[in-house]
Amino acid sequence: MRVTSNLIYNQSAQSMTKASERNLQVQERISEQSDIVRPSDDPNGAAKVMAYELENKRLMQYKDNMTLAKNTLEYSSLALGSINDVLDQINVRIIQSVNTANSQEDWNAIAGEMENLLATTADLMNSRDSNGKYIFAGTSPDSPAFERGTDGRYFFAGNEGTRSAQIADNVSVQVSDSGKGLFQDVPTRSTFTATAGGGGTLESTISDQQAYEQFVKDNFSGLPTATNGFSLTTSAGTPDQFQFVNDDTGAVVASGDYVSGEPITINGMRFTLTGPVGSSVNMTIDPPGRDNVLNQVMDAITALRDPTLTRAQRSEFLDSATTSIVNTQSSMGEVSSSVGSRINTIDNRETQRSATEIFNKSAQEDIGGLDIYKASTELQLSETALSASQLLFSRISSLSLFDRL
């Protein structure tokens, strides 16, 4: 083998280049804080690190989804709580208005207070989240949930859809509740129609709304063939008797002594039938209605301001508003409980997500993490080797075989 000056020079240069590369590699590992800077450093380890990295990016997206979802649900919870408080205040005014000592001026003043509270309720039912989206408008959050028609009555302007957020691979959580079911489709006060037969005269009313609501719930039938009718008949005896019978089934709902002109109370209904034995009552459950509480309270306000109404007529509107408030608060209570449950679900998933993210980062560190002490030693050795290579190259590059001849 021939030994030439070029051969010696090239070998020395290659040695210095390799030493420089080793030094740069160590510096790069220290700079990146990883033993795997490029896939070629450890193909198998690099694939595992990338898999964990992708998983963490997905977890971060879920974290963002959870944050937005929780914010929306908390806005919803706050709005429902505020509406409940305002409805309580309206109910207090209704109770005040029942006082028989009130004058028309008093009723006008109470109506004014209720009107202000009603406006607050309407505004809260059109609450928005931090992004300016209407919370209760369904899947049309850019438009108000409730609007006022040309007739002055409120109507639901959104839709029945709900929005959801993906918070895990196979887990999504509902982040909105439609005002359709929450506020618009709330049952209104149940009523009945009654007429006297057999020569008697009749006065009828609802004496206990809650008891009557339960009666309607247990007995009203939506079947086309159902009449939802009941008959109160009287018969001679010692003493005289009455029976209250379901016309559709023939079942006896109630029975007892009959005294002309004495009130008969059945499931929250009071019938005062005046007439001889053989007098009767035909009663029909009015079909249940549904409406938002805004309209029901607005009707009560109008009734308070109308001086032509009797106390009994005014009480009908006030009772309807009270029933609507109670039913609306019941509806909101169910949704509030559901919202709280969904917030808890997000909190639990966030705890799990955070733990998984920490585990993934720990696994990444175990696979590709840098041993700083080992790397520091390697850096010192590579710098020493590089210095030696540079010194040797400097000396060799100035030599020639001719110097030895």
What is the predicted pLDDT for the residue at 332?
95
Do 169 and 259 lie in one domain? The reply is no
CB 84 within 8 A of CB 347: no
* Distance from chain centroid for Cα 272: 47
Instruction: Tell me how many domains the chain contains.
Output: 3
Do 73 and 144 lie in one domain? The reply is yes
Single residue among 266, 286, 306 that ends a domain in this structure: 286
Q: What stretch of H or E contains 15?
A: helix 5-32
96 lies in a domain?
Answer: yes
Looking from the CA of 264 toward its CB, the CA atoms found within 13 Å total 24
Do 299 and 282 lie in one domain? The reply is no
45 lies in a domain?
Answer: no
Do 216 and 277 lie in one domain? The reply is yes
Do 304 and 267 lie in one domain? The reply is no
Residues of the chain under the 70 pLDDT cut: 1-53, 360-405
365 lies in a domain?
Answer: no
CB 235 within 8 A of CB 241: yes
Do 236 and 255 lie in one domain? The reply is yes
Domain of 113, CATH number, reads 1.20.1330.10
Do 209 and 276 lie in one domain? The reply is yes
In the DSSP assignment, the letter for residue 2 is -
259-307 pLDDT per residue, tens: 999 999 999 999 999 999 999 999 999 998 999 999 999 999 999 999 9
- What one-letter code names the amino acid at 333? G
What is the predicted pLDDT for the residue at 371?
46
377 lies in a domain?
Answer: no
12-68 pLDDT per residue, tens: 555 555 555 565 555 555 555 554 544 544 555 455 656 656 777 777 888 888 898
Residue 61: give the domain boundaries: 57-187+295-354
Single residue among 244, 266, 286 that ends a domain in this structure: 286
Measured CA to CA, the distance from residue 44 to residue 103 in angstroms comes to: 88
What is the predicted pLDDT for the residue at 365?
59
376 lies in a domain?
Answer: no
367 lies in a domain?
Answer: no
79 lies in a domain?
Answer: yes
pTM of the model: 0.75
Measured CA to CA, the distance from residue 398 to residue 222 in angstroms comes to: 109
What SS3 state is found at 369?
strand
371 lies in a domain?
Answer: no
What is the predicted pLDDT for the residue at 3?
47
Tokens (6 digits) for 330: 């019941």
Do 178 and 306 lie in one domain? The reply is yes
* Distance from chain centroid for Cα 113: 30
In whole angstroms, how large is the CA radius of gyration of the chain? 41
What is the predicted pLDDT for the residue at 374?
55
What is the predicted pLDDT for the residue at 40?
45
Annotate 22-70 with three-state secondary structure.
Answer: HHHHHHHHHHHCECCCCHHHCHHHHHHHHHHHHHHHHHHHHHHHHHHHH
Single residue among 259, 286, 313 that ends a domain in this structure: 286
Do 126 and 105 lie in one domain? The reply is yes
DSSP string, 154-202: EEE-S-S---EEEEETTEEEE----HIIIIIT-B----EEEEEETT-EE
Unique residue bearing structure tokens 């585990």: 359
CB 111 within 8 A of CB 94: no
Do 69 and 178 lie in one domain? The reply is yes
Do 304 and 271 lie in one domain? The reply is no
Q: Cα angle vertex 221, ends 216, 223, to 5°?
A: 165
Do 303 and 167 lie in one domain? The reply is yes
